Amino acid sequence: MFIWDLLTNNVFIFSGDAPCREGLFNLLAFGVALMVALMLHEIAHGYAALSFGDHTAKLSGRLTLDPTKHFNLLGLLMMLLVGFGWANPVPVNPNNFNPQKKTLAMVSVSLAGVVTNLVLAFFSTALLVLVYMTRWGMELSTNNPYVWQFLIMLGYLMMSLNVSFALFNLLPLFPLDGFRLISCFVPEYNKVLLFLRRYSFYIIIACVFLGNLGFSPISWYVNTVGNWLIGGFIDFWSWLLIGG
């Protein structure tokens, strides 16, 4: 289980078989990364809706950094147990959008969370490269090993979690952002949309089951595209910060 790997310091560049002090720093970094990724994803939806005239999220108290307003207990448990989860979705009322800009507003709201996650991942990669690959990072690892441990894990987890959240949310499954994006252009009673609205949960559960058997289409997609994105981010920041 991923949480056990964190506690035993058996993630990324580390190795271990029992809980250790370093594992507590890993767990702290995971908590910060998860909280930031999920909260800012949802807040981005709310601000996008607000920018097009819908105050529903603001009036519901969701444009806040208070994690209790965003986290869903079941979604959090699923994240810890099976590797994917969800927060409480930000309420949006499309009827408040300007009719002439309604499609643009709905597309913007649908993509706001995904774009936010990708931006977070992009800049988190800079932290990872700075701490892990530069002379300053080498000195920090010698003089303040626990600070180095926390920062490198924070950069790595912020990068990987945000990329995973962005790609997962782009899936055309209800109630993910990919489904809402498609619904911006397809009639509400389209048969495919109705099928996905009704059976998306079972599709996800089936993919989790297949993952336990050794192959999950969702995991393959997230890992394949995610590795490509992360590789590009690392190459860019390596070139910018250390010259390649």
Q: Which residues are catalytic?
A: 42
Q: What residues contact 179, with CB distance under 8 A and at least 6 apart?
A: 171, 172, 173, 193, 196, 197, 200
How is residue 167 written in tokens? 């790609």
Q: Tell me, what DSSP letter sits at residue 97?
A: S
The type of residue at 80 is L
Q: Is the torsion defined by CA of 147, 152, 155, 158 positive or negative?
A: negative
Alpha carbon distance 156, 137 (integer Å): 14
Identify whether the C-beta of residue 130 lies closer than 8 Å to the C-beta of residue 136: yes
Q: Tell me, what DSSP letter sits at residue 90?
A: P
For 119-144, give one letter per residue: b (16+ CB within 10 A) or e: ebbbebbbbbbbbbeeeebeebbeee
> Backbone phi, then psi, for 213, in 5-degree steps?
-90, -5
The β-bridge partners of 87 are 71
The type of residue at 123 is F
